[in-house]
Structure 1
């Protein structure tokens, strides 16, 4: 089972701006060999989107970092893209394998002022 974290992730900046990231779907079960996509939507624009997988032995493992909007990035069977609005991203796993089972997280980063 592939599981994006079902919680809403809230980030607060030094300026007191509240930013929310929502991941969908909250949970998904697929058969080995199927494709699956996860979305991350933000209430604010980001300069960078990051996708992580929770590893029981290593903690959070960075899968893909996205810096350019509209440009898909591949890492093996994983593909991620940053939307042109810079407010959302998706992660697709093609021809999934058992090793892809786990909990996935997205994160956004603003550049320093």
Structure 2
């Protein structure tokens, strides 16, 4: 089963923050975040395993909330280089 992302689309101005959520009706084991720029292959950003960890690099970070079966991707102080389509993949138990 594919995870559900919300919101479906985010339009940001430079310097704004955004949160993209990825949730599942099944128990999540791991979540993988990717960014795809127009006309390019998806680029892997990070993977989170269950246990409530948080990871990040630069001003992009993600958290895993095992209780809610949800992962959130945080884009802080957006830059033009952040533009693209973000999506998650998940392994469920």
Residues 30 and 47 in structure 2, CA contact (< 8 A), matched pair in contact too:
yes
* Alpha-carbon separation, structure 1, partners of 2:90 and 2:67: 13
Q: Runs ≥4 in structure 1, deviation > 4 angstroms?
A: none
More displaced, 57-66 or 39-48? 57-66
Using the size of structure 1 for normalisation, the TM-score is 0.73
* Alpha-carbon separation, structure 2, partners of 1:110 and 1:89: 13
CA RMSD of aligned residues (A): 1.8
* Alpha-carbon separation, structure 1, partners of 2:23 and 2:92: 15
Q: Which has the higher relative contact order, 1 or 2, with Cα contacts under 8 A spaced 6 or more apart?
A: 2
The counterpart of 2:78, out of the listed 82, 90, 96, is: 96
Using the size of structure 2 for normalisation, the TM-score is 0.88
Distance 1:27 1:74, change over 3 A: same
What is the aligned partner in structure 1 of residue 31 from structure 2? 49
What is the aligned partner in structure 2 of residue 69 from structure 1? 51
Question: Aligned with 1:99: secondary structure?
Answer: helix
Residues 28 and 50 in structure 2, CA contact (< 8 A), matched pair in contact too:
no
Distance 1:110 1:26, change over 3 A: closer
* Equivalenced residues, count: 93
* Deviation sequence 1:67-90 (CA, Å, 0-9, x none): 142221012111101112262100
* Alpha-carbon separation, structure 2, partners of 1:97 and 1:62: 18
- Could you list the runs of 5+ residues in structure 2 that have no partner in the other structure? none
More displaced, 31-40 or 49-58? 49-58
